[in-house]
Amino acid sequence: MELVPVVMMVLGLLLGLGIGAAIGYYVYRSMHNLKIKSATAQAEEITKEAEKAAAQQRQQIELNAKEEFVRLREEFDREANEKRRDLRRQEERLQRRQDALDKRMEEVESRDRNLQKRQQNLDKRQSGLEKIEEQKQQELERVSAMTADDAKQLLIESVRDDARQDMARVIREVEAEAHAEADRRARKLIIMAIQRLASETVAET
């Protein structure tokens, strides 16, 4: 009879332990599920915040890249325009120098043509004077039978004519030499100008 209460007590104790264990397990599972849900929610929130921050950062990077591209494009256009203006100024300066040289060459060529014409005229005059002198010589031979006084007077006039011709020839020679010297100096100046222009062009390039 005393064994029954003990058995009942043991069974009650075991039943209480089982019920407590079941309640403890239920509470543990509930707490565990709550922790999992909380961690999942936090992870989703962190993921959303990270994605939002990444999107904002990507937008900022794209904006900075566009601004940098615009700045570089404007700088490139500005430098290109400046180089084009410099090139036009150099071309205009070279064109002015070329025009000046062309004008100088035309002046020299015109002077050379004038000198050639004058030389041709002088040659014609010289040829004419030689013919006149020959005619005078023939005339002297023709009048060789003149009196001494007449021959003397004619000789004096002939000497005077020869002197005038010699003087004219000397004047022509001096003029020709002066023109030749001027022509040489002009050509030398043109050559020096061309050389200087070439050296300046190389230096600027």
CB 194 within 8 A of CB 101: yes
More confident residue, 178 or 66: 66
Q: Is 72 a residue whose pLDDT tops 70?
A: yes
CA distance 58 to 55: 5
d(Cα 138, Cα 151) in Å, to the nearest integer? 14
Which letter, b or e, does each residue of 97-133 get, where b requires 16 or more Cβ atoms within 10 Å of its Cβ? beeeeeebeeebeeeeeebeeeeeebeeeeeeeeeee
Predicted confidence band at 4 (pLDDT cuts at 50, 70, 90)?
A: low
| 35 pLDDT higher than 50 | yes
Range picked from 81-90, 148-157, 160-169, 172-181 for highest mean pLDDT: 81-90
Average pLDDT over residues 64-75: 89
Helix, strand, coil shares, percent, the chain, to 5? 95, 0, 5
CB 158 within 8 A of CB 132: no
pLDDT recorded at residue 7: 61
Q: Is this structure's pTM higher than 0.85?
A: no
Please give the pLDDT value at position 1. 44
d(CA 99, CA 148): 69
- The answer to whether 112 touches 183, Cβ cutoff 8 Å, is yes
User: What pLDDT score was predicted for residue 142?
Assistant: 67
* Arithmetic mean of pLDDT, 155-165: 74
Q: What is the pLDDT of residue 132?
A: 77
